[in-house]
Amino acid sequence: MPDDLSNPEYPIPEDLRGQVTITTLDKIYNWGRRSSVWPMFWGLACCAIEMIATATSRYDMARFGMEVMRPSPRQTDLMIISGTVTKKLIPQIVRLYNQVPEPKYVMAMGACASGGGPFKEGYNVVSGVDQFLPVDVYVPGCPPTPQALIHGFLVLHKKIAAQPIKAIPGYQKAALEPLPIPVLGPDLINLRDLPRIPAAASGSGPEEA
């Protein structure tokens, strides 16, 4: 058992050491969760190839209990946004995110997913998936090497380990609202922006520099 698990800050009598382990519910529960994260198996762009490489023999993410990559959002708890997020695709990404059961995590892999990357100025590029989804871990790189992605996994594991069961968003009494799915119009429409659009479109909004 890893050290951090069996360290309840509670004195175990000398003669029971090595036979009895005492831990907290939070710790053992989160240990289970973080050691069996199932990422969603889908790739958006170049970064996806490095994501696949991470799953193959040289890097082998199976070591982290993560080899089960599922092509369906219903069977996953981690969405790796592995590539450029375009306006044409973001409605589908948000829809899929809404279909992932709680508790769920999002990892922005690479420059594009984190902030638009080399294609940021492009008219069809969303400059950062965090404009639409809550991101838990950002992995820098273009593309991040498999080592970098693995480091991202470890950071995510740490994050999961530090969540008290009581505080996990998906475990609260109140039902979580699904995220609003943006729609495609003459450009991408973020439904949260709706009230601002007519004013700005007619020129009475903030000025363009």
Partner 1 sequence: MTDQPIDVHVDNLETRFPGMVSQDSRQGYTGYLVKPEGLTAFATALRDQMGFRYLSSVTAVDYLAEDLMEVVYHAYRLEGGPALVFKTQVPRQEPHVPSLVPLFPGAEFQEREAWDLFGVRFDGHPDLRRILMWEGFGGHPMRKDWHEAYYEEEAKPFKNRWPEGQVYRIEDKVPYGHNVSYPSEFSPEGWVPQEDVALYAGLGKIQGNGDGSGGGLDTEQIVINLGPQHPSTHGVFRMVVRLDGETVVDLRPVMGYLHRNHEKLGERNTFLMNMPFTDRLDYLCSMSNNFGYALAVEKLMGIQPPERADYIRVMMAELTRIINHMLAIGFLLNDLGAYFTPVMYCFNERELILDVFEAVSGSRMMCNYFRFGGVARDLTQDAFGMVKRLVQERLPPKLDELERFLVKNEIVRERSIGVGVLSAEQAIALSAAGPVLRASGVPYDVRRAEPYSIYDRLEFDVCTRQHGDIYDRFLIRFDEMRQSLRILQQVVRDLPPGEIMTGKPQYQVRVPAGESYGRVENPKGELGFYLVSNGKANPYRYHIRSPSFINLTSLAQMCRGQKIADAVVILGSIDIVLGEVDR
Q: What angle do CA 176, 137, 131 make, to 5 degrees?
A: 60
Nearer of residues 49 and 165 to partner 1, judged by Cβ? 49
Cα torsion angle, 25, 28, 34, 38, sign? negative
At closest approach, how far in Å is the CB of 86 from partner 1? Answer: 6
**Tokens read off for 145:** 């090497």
Sequence-ordered alpha helix ranges (H) in the chain: 25-34, 46-55, 90-99, 110-115, 146-161, 197-201
Residue 204's binding partner, choosing from ligand SF4, partner 1, none, with beta-carbon cut-off 5 to 8 A by kind?
none
Residue 71's binding partner, choosing from ligand SF4, partner 1, none, with beta-carbon cut-off 5 to 8 A by kind?
partner 1
Rg of the Cα atoms in the chain: 21
At closest approach, how far in Å is the CB of 142 from partner 1? Answer: 7
Q: How far apart are CA 120 and CA 84, in angstroms?
A: 9
Residue 125's binding partner, choosing from ligand SF4, partner 1, none, with beta-carbon cut-off 5 to 8 A by kind?
partner 1
Contacting positions for ligand SF4 (CB under 6 A): 45-47, 83-84, 110-112, 117-118, 142-143
Nearer of residues 28 and 148 to ligand SF4, judged by Cβ? 148
At closest approach, how far in Å is the CB of 28 from partner 1? Answer: 32
At closest approach, how far in Å is the CB of 142 from ligand SF4? Answer: 3
Residues near 50 by Cβ (< 8 Å), separated by ≥ 6? 82, 109, 143, 144, 145, 146, 149
Contacting positions for partner 1 (CB under 8 A): 41-46, 48-50, 52-53, 55-58, 71, 83-84, 86-89, 92, 96, 116, 118-127, 131, 142-143, 145, 183-190, 193-194, 196-198, 200-203, 205-209
Backbone torsions φ then ψ of 188, nearest 5 degrees: -70, 135
